[in-house]
A and B are shown apart, each in its own frame.
Chain A
Amino acid sequence: MSWVLENLDLIAARTGSHLLQALPPILVALALSLPLAKLANSQGWLRTGVTTTSGLLYAIPSLPLFVLLPGIIGTSVRSPLNIAIALSLYGLALMVPAASDAFRSVSRDVLSSATAQGYAPTARFFQVELPLAGPVLLAGVRVVAVSTISLVTVGGVLGVPSLGMLFVDGFRRGIIAEIAAGVVLTAVLAVLTDALLVLLGRALMPWTRQRSVRRP
């Protein structure tokens, strides 16, 4: 416990860089998953292919991917960009199937009615389809956020600063409190982010607040 009190600055710095590394991949995964899921849903075979590829991509362990990517994209193993790209890939692997389900959960009749009411394709997407797909999209983003925040720590082994560095340093120096602080803070960050996403969802989609989304 005394280690934690003496190193609050270090812990704060690691938490900061942890969040900075986790946020961009979550946003990139969300932003890219929407067009990819729309594309995948346009063809049955494409959807099967995308779902299978996503499953396999997610099966790739993170550390080997962190190691391989620099050889492919030319970054350094210790570069945060490398970690960010790898985490975006994992995010996409989770988010594209979720977004595909989200768009499929929107009733075709509702979309047809919107068209009949004179919505242009772009307006129909942003004002009708996207909001209605919102609850399922949010569920996907929550999974991506929690998984990304936890995965960031693996970069610590390679020397990329994050809460994962507390594990590496604590293990080398035999400080249990340092590792425990890292584990607890990572979990707390994940839980807080998740709660924030739920609140954001309620604010953006007030119609989901009354009743929980139920399907027959």
Chain B
Amino acid sequence: MTGNPFLQALAWLAEAAHWSGPSGIPMRTLEHLGYTALGVFVAALIAVPLGLLVGHTGVGKSVAIASAGAARALPTLGLVTLFALLLGIGLTAPLLAFVVLAVPSLLAGAYSAVESADPATVDAARAQGMTEWQILTKVEIPLGVPLIVGGFRGATVQVVATAMLAAYVGNGGLGRYIFLGLTSQDYPQMIAGSLLVIALALLLDLALLLLQRVTAPRGAKTA
């Protein structure tokens, strides 16, 4: 094939046949979003309460910090392929990888959100007779919401990227186009798939950035 691969990729994207059916772009995008949402949701169920607890009590602080660092060192492709071999083809393996990779961001976000509350403010709340639960839910969490959302942002970015590798072990999502293109030496299709994933990742990142700004309590300094 000759010609500019980017123009060919645009032509690939413009083809009506690529926009319908179970392997069409809308369906693959939905799959991708679904994987991401599920991964971040399950990870949040574990990490956010734990992070809030660590932030409020200070217990296990060093473990939380160390886990965030360790997660950066874990190769995502390695986790996805390892879990796929251990658990078989299907969604369980990539989902487990998403959760492992999303937990540290969420944990760090929730933990730093609580810890960022001014100790004087927390003491004032305690002096006014608030219970520890009230301090957490009425003072520390509202003040730290932008940081919690920041944790979600980091986790989402990580999972969107990893969800693409899910296609490598036999699942759907936008990664399909890249791996199909790779095996059939179809560079325009690989570019088209890449552009779609990048657009999705940037849109999600911007949306969460916006949410981070919006949720900042008025009067409190934004992180």
Residues of A within 8 A of B (CB): 55-56, 58-65, 67-68, 71, 77, 143, 146-147, 149-150, 153-154, 156-158, 163-164, 166-168, 170-171, 174, 176, 179-180, 182-183, 186-187, 190-191, 194
Interface string of B153-188 (1 = CB under 8 A from A): 000010011001100110000010011001000010
B75 touches A183 (CB 8 A): yes
Interface string of B118-151 (1 = CB under 8 A from A): 0000000000000000000000000000000000
B161 touches A61 (CB 8 A): yes
A154 touches B193 (CB 8 A): no
> How far, in angstroms, from A143 to B108 measured CA to CA in the complex?
15
Chain A interface helix/strand/loop/mixed: helix
> How far, in angstroms, from A2 to B209 measured CA to CA in the complex?
48
The residue that A174 contacts in the complex, of B72, B85, B197, B206, with Cβ under 8 A, is B85
Interface extent on B, as a size class?
35 or more
B73 touches A191 (CB 8 A): yes
Most B Cβ at <10 Å: residue of A59, A60, A190, A191: A59
Indicate whether A157 sits within 8 Å of B168 (C-beta atoms), given known contacts A59-B157, A60-B202: yes
The answer to whether the Cβ of B201 comes within 8 Å of any Cβ in the partner chain is: yes
The answer to whether the Cβ of B74 comes within 8 Å of any Cβ in the partner chain is: yes
What are 12 residue pairs bridging A and B, where the CB atoms are less than 8 Å apart in the complex? A60-B201, A61-B161, A61-B197, A63-B165, A64-B164, A68-B194, A77-B187, A146-B73, A153-B77, A171-B169, A180-B82, A186-B74
The answer to whether the Cβ of B31 comes within 8 Å of any Cβ in the partner chain is: no
B78 touches A183 (CB 8 A): yes
A61 touches B73 (CB 8 A): no
B82 nearest in chain A by CB position: A179
> How far, in angstroms, from A88 to B5 measured CA to CA in the complex?
24
B81 touches A61 (CB 8 A): no
With a cutoff of 8 Å between Cβ atoms, the chain B residues found around residue A182 in the complex are 75, 78
With a cutoff of 8 Å between Cβ atoms, the chain B residues found around residue A157 in the complex are 77, 165, 168, 179, 182
With a cutoff of 8 Å between Cβ atoms, the chain B residues found around residue A55 in the complex are 205, 209
Tell me, rounded to whole Å, the shortest Cβ–Cβ distance linking B183 to chain A: 11
B182 touches A158 (CB 8 A): yes
B73 touches A186 (CB 8 A): yes
A64 touches B70 (CB 8 A): no
B201 touches A150 (CB 8 A): no
A180 nearest in chain B by CB position: B82
